[in-house]
Structure 1
Amino acid sequence: MQIAEIMTRDVAYLSADESIQRAAQLMADLDIGAVPVCDGRRLIGVVTDRDIAVRCIAAGASPSASVREAMTAHVSWCYADEDAETVKAKMRDEQIRRMPILGKNNELVGVVSLGDLATKAGDTDDTLAGISEPARASGELFR
């Protein structure tokens, strides 16, 4: 099964010049925690609610700060014609919960989430376990 059969199409996205307030509003409106950032339809990054909180708000940035200031520019992605098992393995190996999907012309055509894989592809036990493992210990939490 190709990932195009599983992915969510017609994905909302932002430009890097939009404000983090606009990004947060879009996330609230769509009840999502991550939005692809594009130049036209070319993927240039992803911004998450955590990116906004940690990189901008915690640093004292204004709500009018640009998405560019908060986004993660180095983003993993896959092509729409890739096999679902290959994409699941990449998500597991890189501990990614949402993977942008590109078309033949490297344009954003969709996103596949762990939920998409669970409901449409099944058999996510190993994928879920691999993605959910802590990446590295950072000291004791919640003493």
Structure 2
Amino acid sequence: MRISELMTRDVKTIDADECLRSATERLEASSLGALPVTDHGRLVGLLTDSELSLCSTVHGHDPDITTVREAMSAPLVTCPEDAPLEAGERLMEEHHVSRLVVVDAEHHAVGLLRLDDVASQPLTLLRPGEPLEHLSLYS
């Protein structure tokens, strides 16, 4: 299965210099819980709903003054839309992220792959080329 078959399309981006209030409004209008962040049209980060809450609530940053750039995660972890789903799984595991921005050949955001999307698929216990030692049984 390819990432393009499972990803969520119609992903909206936000500019890094916009304020957190604007980001909150966009996130509330979306069910994805994340916005890819751009700077002059180039992908530079990802802003998640939890990062937004942390920045506004815990750290007390003013959402009308604080920019998306100050709250976003960077560097951004991306995956090509034509990559196999296993590549997306591996990237999530290696980078400890629950969302990947899916990009086209020109590196424009075309979708978002969430861990929930991947988890909804049949479990692959053994990846080609991996030894059996990584499998464990729990009782």
Identity of aligned residues (%): 32
| Alpha-carbon RMSD | 2.0
- Are 1:53 and 2:43 matched, yes or no? no
Give the deviation of 1:103 after TM superposition: 0.7
- Provide the C-alpha distance between the structure 2 equivalents of 1:61 and 1:27, rounded to a whole number of angstroms: 18
How far apart in 2 are the matches of 1:62 and 1:37? Answer: 19
Q: How does 1:19-34 map to 2 (within 5 A)?
A: 19-34=19-34
Alignment of 1:1-143 (within 5 A): 1-39=1-39, 41-64=41-64, 65-119=66-120, 122-124=121-123
CA drift of 1:46 comes to: 0.7
What displacement does 1:20 show?
A: 0.5
| Structure of greater Rg | 2
Q: 1:25 to 1:125 in 2, by over 3 A?
A: farther
Question: Do 1:42 and 1:108's aligned partners in 2 also have CA atoms closer than 8 Å?
Answer: no
> Could you report, residue by residue, the CA deviation over 1:108-136 in whole angstroms, capped at 9, with x for unpaired residues?
111111232244xx12476xxxxxxxxxx
Q: Which has the higher helix share?
A: 1
Query: Could you say which residue in structure 1 is the equivalent of 2:136?
Result: none
Q: Distance in 1 between matches of 2:11 and 2:37?
A: 11
- When structure 1 is superposed on structure 2, of 106-115 and 41-50 the one drifting more is 41-50
Would the alpha carbon gap of residues 52 and 100 (structure 1) be closer, same or farther in structure 2, given more than 3 Å must change?
Answer: same
- Superposition TM-score, scaled by structure 1 size: 0.75
Distance 1:58 1:117 in 2: 30
Q: Which runs of 5+ in 2 are unaligned?
A: 126-139
Q: State the 4+ residue runs in structure 1 displaced beyond 4 angstroms.
A: none
Q: Tell me the distance in 2 between the aligned counterparts of 1:91 and 1:73.
A: 14
Deviation at 1:58, TM superposition (A): 2.9
Structure 1: stretches of 5+ with no match in the other structure: 127-143
Provide, for residues 41-88 of structure 1, a one-character-per-residue CA deviation record: whole Å limited to 9, x for no partner.
Answer: 531101122222333443332111211111112121111111111111
